[in-house]
Amino acid sequence: MKTKSIGILTKPKFPEVKTTLHAVVIWLRARSIDVLLDTTSAALLGEQGGIQKTQLASEAGVLLVLGGDGTMLNAARLAGERSIPILGVNMGGLGFLTEVQLDNLYPSLDRVFANDFVLDERLMLKAHVHRHGETVARGVVLNDVVISKGTLARMIELKIAIQGQFVTNLRGDGLIVSTPTGSTAYSLSAGGPIINPAVQSLMLTPICPHTLTHRPLIVPGNAEIEVTLTSKDDGAMATLDGQVGIAMTQGDTAVIQASEYRTRLIRFPESHYYEVLREKLKWGDG
């Protein structure tokens, strides 16, 4: 790896983050690696300064994430246009996106500096919410865009079109539009299939549809999906990667398609996608 700068993103709520962060910063600086900390991480270490999270991705050569999948999703959105490599260290629960267990952190960093890794490129989505012809919100996500009823008790109605062709009117609790990476997230719990991230596709998964014949739909990765809120429901939301919420009103349309950018995850050659699935989903040994 040519670069000598690492930006560190953390999830401070994990109990061991502070001690891990302290140790890894000392370890990196002892090797003359320029360590960039956001304001949260700097405060955690009792250091002055720190930069904004948005600056991390523009200045660092690699992002080191100490956290869980939520922190990884945040890192993917920050890396956005630069698509810098991200190494995830699992300090959370399930951890589909994090590559490294905590007890293997330092050998993994040594391998990164020795260029002994591969980059796993993941498709991302870009979403625009249009209201009366104006774009009122936009974002780029790694997992999914969810259009849902929010805290409403009643169903919402959505009109779905793909490549400009009307597909269906959906009544229910909402719709998940996900990437293959997102197929093991919310979509999975809503009954969607698991899609290998090497498959360039998008998936539409209905959430508790009123009509039981509505099923998950897999479409080509270059498809443009338009989802219009047709019912009059205050409280309906478009949620990006479960982290950014946008209020939607009747007539609003979310336009969702693959982003031109990719998330680049640092992987090691001996780790395999199906092994991760087997371990995380408790499928048992072969």
- Confidence bin at 286 (pLDDT 50/70/90): low
Rounded to 5°, the CA angle 262-74-45 comes to 130
Q: What is the pLDDT of residues 186-234, one digit of tens each?
A: 999 999 999 999 999 999 999 999 998 999 999 999 999 999 999 997 7
Q: What is the pLDDT of residues 140-164, one digit of tens each?
A: 999 999 999 987 778 999 999 999 9
**The pTM is what?**
0.93
Out of 54-68, 166-180, 182-196, least confident range: 54-68
Query: Which residues are catalytically annotated?
Result: 69
**Identity of residue 116:** D
Q: Which domains does the chain have, with CATH numbers?
A: 5-117+268-280 (3.40.50.10330), 124-260 (2.60.200.30)
